[in-house]
């Protein structure tokens, strides 16, 4: 059992009481009373707060009492004696756990007093913790062993700052290699996955805050996010993992979309935001780390900016298979860790669902099959990464494409790769196309009054597809509708590429209704 633990981090007693009832209502499975946050600390307050928890939780919710030393992240500089007295009172009041810094426990006068108090109340257990806010602990495995042997019923707790997602693997290894009640977590944005995966890997607790203001450590999620977005209630040791590898990743809509679909399909799968900072070296190290640990259960990834090319390189170098069109595009956005027939080892297969998503959006919008694109004159505006994927898809389907771009040599280069024509933006007024696709960022929030194509170039009978999805209805699409043309929005492409990924991840068709709803909900926010 991994308990979703909500810290109570109020500055005064009345606010602490309110936080206790809020945490119980939010589904907390343990409450941690962070006594060090109280401005005025009296040892007796802990007795009253434990009683509040018993009352609010009907006696079913265990309590951890912590009065953290300032040296290890405590909120206030309360004197050592008062902090110890608070822990002793907590034991007396029947706290299920007290959390003490290992560095203080090894001081004989403190260790002796705490051991003696716990001997009289065997129901209270001791969490011995060590923290590093600057980075990785110098010898996490050694320290873990030392703490584990400090007293018979101890719960070892190591918490350190991950400066990169690759720093989390040591925490995962510690959890994987040990048994019994233990806590190993990473702080910071790069450590987020350790908070979400604690339940899969058997940590005793994962901490989540009541709301964003009440977080007690960097990178802590809210209890609502952990339960509703990251499926805390349904994760177990067998949960299969997926995620989006990106930098930045915080605003990605993919976790909301894929987790909603996994939940709807009743699948024991979880989709994570995977912040991989750096270039090819860091990207390679991340995938090496994942593939070296099959017990983590990673089965697939979405890959986005800035790693789409690195992903392709990695798969080539490691003997994986690449979808031919993805190879020609020079970028992949989906990786599958496929099992080799004979053993647990996995090899990667790489795909590009961007072009497939765009083609599906276009054909659905035009009411045709892909074969219906053969010979259709298409104007693609823009010659960047998205344009490359869409031009690849359109030319593969036999469309007659002209690429218009501000930087003409870039358009020419792309056109040469896919056997189409290139032109400058000044030639747009003479465009003669049945399908017009905007692959530039023009018109994207906050520049919503801009459009890449003069309105009088658009006419009835055309279809206009704008890859920009924020706003959903761009000025270009408004002009298209006014001209009597069909309009296809960028959300359709986004949803279709996610649906194509879902099919690759699960072998089942996606229900794109909840996907589109999840995207529109996020965009409205
Ligand atoms: P990119 O590689 O940076 O390419 C940007 C393109 O836009 C280039 O052709 C650039 O022209 C052109 N451009 C930018 N600002 C311009 C301006 N002020 N005037 C004229 N041309 C301008 O970007 P990308 O990765 O291809 O992404 C392009 C857009 O696709 C994004 O902005 C996003 O809205 C959309 N997108 C949609 C989805 C979806 O699922 N719907 C997914 C990803 C991206 P130059 O070559 O002259 O610089």
How does pLDDT run across 95-127, given as a tens digit for each residue?
999 999 999 999 999 999 999 999 999 899 999
For residue 344, what pLDDT band results from cuts at 50, 70 and 90? low
Q: What is the pLDDT of residues 320-343, one digit of tens each?
A: 999 999 999 999 999 999 876 666
Q: What is the pLDDT of residues 451-475, one digit of tens each?
A: 999 999 999 999 999 999 999 999 9
Residue 255 Cα to ligand 1 middle (Å): 23
pLDDT classification of 172: cutoffs 50, 70, 90: very high
What digits encode the pLDDT tens for the residues 234-248?
A: 999 999 999 999 999
Q: According to the model, what pLDDT value does residue 228 have?
A: 94
pTM of the model: 0.94
Q: How far is the CA of 384 from the centre of ligand 1 (A)?
A: 6
Choose one of 364, 406, 409, 500 to mutate for the ligand 1 pocket test, by most ligand atoms within 8 angstroms of C-beta.
406
pLDDT at residue number 215: 86
pLDDT tens digits for range 46-98: 999 999 999 999 999 999 999 999 999 999 999 999 999 999 999 999 999 99
- Taking the C-alpha atoms of residue 59 and residue 172, their distance in angstroms, rounded to an integer, is 33
Nearest Cα to 49, choosing from 217, 124, 57? 57
How far does the centroid of ligand 1 lie from the alpha carbon of residue 143, in Å? 50
Mean pLDDT along residues 251-272: 94
Q: Is the sign of the CA dihedral 113, 117, 119, 123 positive or negative?
A: negative
Active site annotation includes 157:
yes
pLDDT confidence of residue 343? 62
Q: Which helix (H) or strand (E) holds 260?
A: helix 254-264
pLDDT over threshold 80, residue 211:
yes
pLDDT tens-digit series, residues 357-412: 999 999 999 999 999 999 999 999 999 999 999 999 999 999 999 999 999 999 99
What's the pLDDT at 151? 86
CB 436 within 8 A of CB 465: yes
- Of 302, 364, 382, best ligand 1 pocket probe by most atoms within 8 Å of the beta carbon: 382
Nearest CA to ligand 1 atom 27: 386
Q: Enter the DSSP assignment of 77.
A: -
User: Among 87-91, 216-220, 286-290, which stretch is predicted with the lowest mean pLDDT?
Assistant: 216-220
Handedness of CA 110, 112, 117, 122 (dihedral sign): positive
Point out the ligand 1 atom lying closest to the alpha carbon of residue 425: 20
Find the 466 Cα to ligand 1 centroid distance in Å: 11
Distance CA 345, CA 347 (A): 7
* Ligand 1 atom having least distance to the Cα of 381: 9
Q: HEC string of 405-417?
A: ECCHHHHHHHHHH
Ramachandran assignment for 184, one of left (phi > 0), alpha (psi -120 to 50 degrees), beta (any other): beta
Please choose from 257, 306, 423, 440 the residue to mutate so as to test ligand 1's pocket, defined by most ligand atoms within 8 A of CB: 440
Please state, in angstroms and rounded to a whole number, the distance separating the CA atoms of residues 318 and 250: 29
CA distance 406 to 424: 6
Instruction: Look at ligand 1, atom 20, and give the residue with the nearest C-alpha.
Output: 406
- The whole-number average pLDDT for the span 184-202 is 98
Distance 387 CA to ligand 1 centre (A): 8
For residue 406, which atom of ligand 1 is closest to its CA? 47
Atom of ligand 1 nearest to the CA of 407: 47
330/346 Cα distance (integer angstroms): 23
Q: Is the pLDDT of residue 146 over 70?
A: yes
| Full DSSP string of 204-247 | SEEE-BSSGGG-SSTTPPBHHIIIIIS-GGG--TT-EEEEEEES
Q: In whole numbers, what is the pLDDT of the chain averaged over residues?
A: 95
Indicate the pairing of strand 298-303 with strand 334-339: antiparallel
Strands 30-34 and 486-488 come out as unpaired
Least confident of 103-112, 208-217, 221-230, 464-473: 208-217
Q: Measured in angstroms, how far is the CA atom of residue 360 from the centroid of ligand 1?
A: 20
Adjacent-strand bridge partners of 378: 401, 435
Give the end-to-end CA distance of the chain in Å, rounded to a whole number.
34
Give the model's pLDDT for residue 341: 62
Centre of ligand 1 to C-alpha 444, Å, is: 10
User: Can 354 be counted among the known catalytic residues?
Assistant: yes
> Of the listed 89, 157, 258, 479, which one is catalytic?
157
- Give the DSSP letter of residue 71: G
Q: How many CA atoms lie within 13 A of 240 on its CB side?
A: 15
Residue of 307, 361, 441 with the most ligand 1 atoms within 8 Å of its CB, for mutation? 441
Give the residues surrounding ligand 1 with Cβ less than 6 Å away. Answer: 382-387, 405-407, 410, 439-442, 444, 467-469, 490, 493-494, 497
């Amino acid at each position: 059992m991994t308990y979703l633990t909500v810290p109570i981090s109020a500055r005064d007693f009345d606010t602490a009481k309110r936080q206790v009832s809020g945490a119980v209502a939010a589904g907390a499975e343990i409450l941690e009373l962070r006594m060090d946050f109280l401005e005025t600390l009296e040892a007796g307050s802990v007795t009253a707060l434990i009683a509040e928890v018993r009352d609010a939780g009907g006696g079913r919710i265990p309590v951890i009492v912590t009065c953290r030393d300032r040296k290890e992240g405590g909120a206030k500089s309360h004197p050592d004696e008062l902090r110890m007295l608070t822990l002793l009172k907590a034991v007396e009041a029947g706290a299920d756990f007290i959390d003490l810094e290992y560095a203080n426990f090894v001081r004989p006068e403190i260790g002796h007093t705490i051991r003696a108090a716990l001997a009289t109340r065997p129901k209270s257990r001791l969490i011995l913790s060590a923290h590093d806010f600057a980075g990785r602990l110098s010898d996490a495995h050694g320290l873990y062993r030392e703490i584990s042997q400090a007293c018979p019923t101890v719960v070892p707790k190591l918490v350190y700052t991950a400066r990169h997602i690759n720093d989390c693997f040591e925490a995962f290894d510690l959890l994987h290699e040990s048994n019994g009640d233990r806590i190993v977590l990473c702080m910071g944005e790069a450590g987020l996955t350790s908070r979400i995966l604690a339940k899969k890997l058997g940590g005793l607790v994962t901490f989540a805050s009541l709301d964003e203001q009440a977080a007690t450590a960097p990178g802590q999620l809210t209890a609502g996010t952990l339960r509703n977005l990251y499926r805390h209630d349904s994760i177990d040791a067998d949960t299969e993992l997926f995620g989006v590898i990106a930098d930045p990743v915080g605003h990605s809509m993919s976790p909301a979309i894929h987790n909603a679909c996994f939940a709807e399909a009743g699948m024991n799968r979880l989709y994570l935001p995977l912040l991989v900072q750096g270039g090819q070296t860091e990207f390679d190290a991340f995938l090496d780390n994942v593939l070296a640990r099959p017990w983590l259960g990673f089965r697939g990834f979405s890959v986005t900016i800035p790693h789409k090319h690195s992903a392709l390189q990695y798969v080539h170098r490691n003997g994986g298979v690449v979808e031919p069109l993805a190879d020609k595009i020079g970028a992949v956005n989906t990786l599958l860790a496929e099992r080799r027939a004979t053993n647990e080892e996995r090899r990667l297969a790489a795909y590009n669902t961007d072009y497939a998503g765009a083609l599906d959006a276009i054909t659905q919008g035009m009411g045709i099959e892909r074969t219906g694109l053969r010979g259709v004159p298409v104007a693609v505006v823009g010659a960047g990464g998205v344009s490359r994927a869409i031009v690849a898809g359109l030319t593969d389907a036999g469309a007659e494409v002209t690429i218009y771009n501000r930087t003409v040599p870039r358009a020419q280069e792309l056109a040469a790769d896919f056997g189409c024509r290139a032109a400058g933006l000044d030639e747009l007024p003479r465009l003669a196309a049945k399908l017009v696709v905007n692959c530039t960022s023009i018109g994207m929030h906050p520049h919503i009054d801009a459009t890449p194509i003069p309105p009088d170039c658009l006419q009835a009978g055309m279809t206009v597809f704008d890859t920009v999805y924020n706003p959903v209805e761009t000025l270009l699409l408004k002009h298209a509708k006014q001209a009597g043309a069909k309009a296809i929005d960028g959300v359709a492409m986004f949803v279709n590429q996610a649906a194509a990924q879902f099919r690759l991840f699960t072998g089942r068709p996606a229900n794109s209704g909840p996907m589109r709803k999840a995207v529109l909900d996020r965009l409205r926010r």
